[in-house]
Amino acid sequence: MLNIAVFVSGGGTNLQALIDAQDRGEIKNGKITFVLASNENAYALERAKKAGIETAVVNRKQYDSKEAYDRAILDVLEGRDIGLIVLAGFLSILGEELISQYRNRIINIHPSLIPLFCGDGFYGKRVHTAVLESGVKVTGATAHFVNEITDGGAIILQKAVDVEQNDNEDILQYRVMRQAEWEILPKAVSLFCEGRIKINGNKTEII
């Protein structure tokens, strides 16, 4: 059984989707044992506590560099035997040390079809604003491994979602979450814990 740490910054609906999937027995060979938040106001912390999961806050604002923040996170993870880190709406960029210590063991959920609408500056609702401004008719979500390039790691699962005529950012964000994120993130996590994701360079194969 793999211990899973989920990193959060906000509402935590993706964390909730993971907890619900776990309760239904859909996270095979994995267990969420720890939730780390980048700020103390993240509602995700309430969701974790309700589910009886241990939490910690490592506040990004208290560290003046990405490297110092990384060190603090690594210290908190120490001794917890974490086999997988899931970034579920975690809006701080991780540093190289953490990424290399957990190489191919960090999964992120991004609210667009990578390689579109991703990279530095594309997070949360901003992604959906850019999607609406572009006029594309289809968007979606991507579960992928994390490497040193923002949103640049190997793609695990994607799901497309229609953009509709009268959408605004809120409506589109909710549709992308409900139809794509909350479905593919728990699936990708389970596939990982079951050892069913083979990585070849920047591509994955589900076995």
> What single-letter amino acid sits at 133?
E
When the beta carbons of 29 and 149 are compared against ligand GAR, the nearer one is: 149
Say how far apart CA 28 and CA 141 lie, in whole Å. 22
Is 75 or 148 the residue whose CB approaches ligand GAR more closely?
A: 148
The whole-angstrom distance between residue 71's C-alpha and the CA centroid of its chain comes to 20
- Which tokens go with 58? 């490592």
CB of 2 to ligand GAR, least distance (A): 21
Site membership for ligand GAR, residue 10 (CB under 6 A): yes
Q: Residue 52 has which token pair?
A: 């009886």
What are the catalytic residues? 110
Is residue 181 at the binding interface for ligand GAR, with CB under 6 A as the rule? yes
Determine, following the binding rule CB under 6 A, whether residue 182 of this chain makes contact with ligand GAR.
no
Q: How far is the CB of 196 from ligand GAR (least distance, A)?
A: 23
146 touching ligand GAR, by CB under 6 A: no
Token reading at 155: 């793609």
- Identify the H or E element spanning 99: helix 96-101
How many CA atoms are closer than 13 Å to the CA of 67, on its beta-carbon side? 0
110 touching ligand GAR, by CB under 6 A: yes
Assigned token pair, 93: 């960029």
Q: Is 177 in the site for ligand GAR (CB under 6 A)?
A: yes
111 binds ligand GAR per the rule CB under 6 A: yes
> Would you state the structure tokens that stand for residue 191, as one six-digit string?
């596939």
SS3 (DSSP) at 78: coil
Q: Is residue 123 a contact point for ligand GAR (CB under 6 A)?
A: yes
List of residues contacting ligand GAR (CB under 6 A)? 8, 10-14, 44, 88-89, 109-111, 123-124, 127, 177, 181
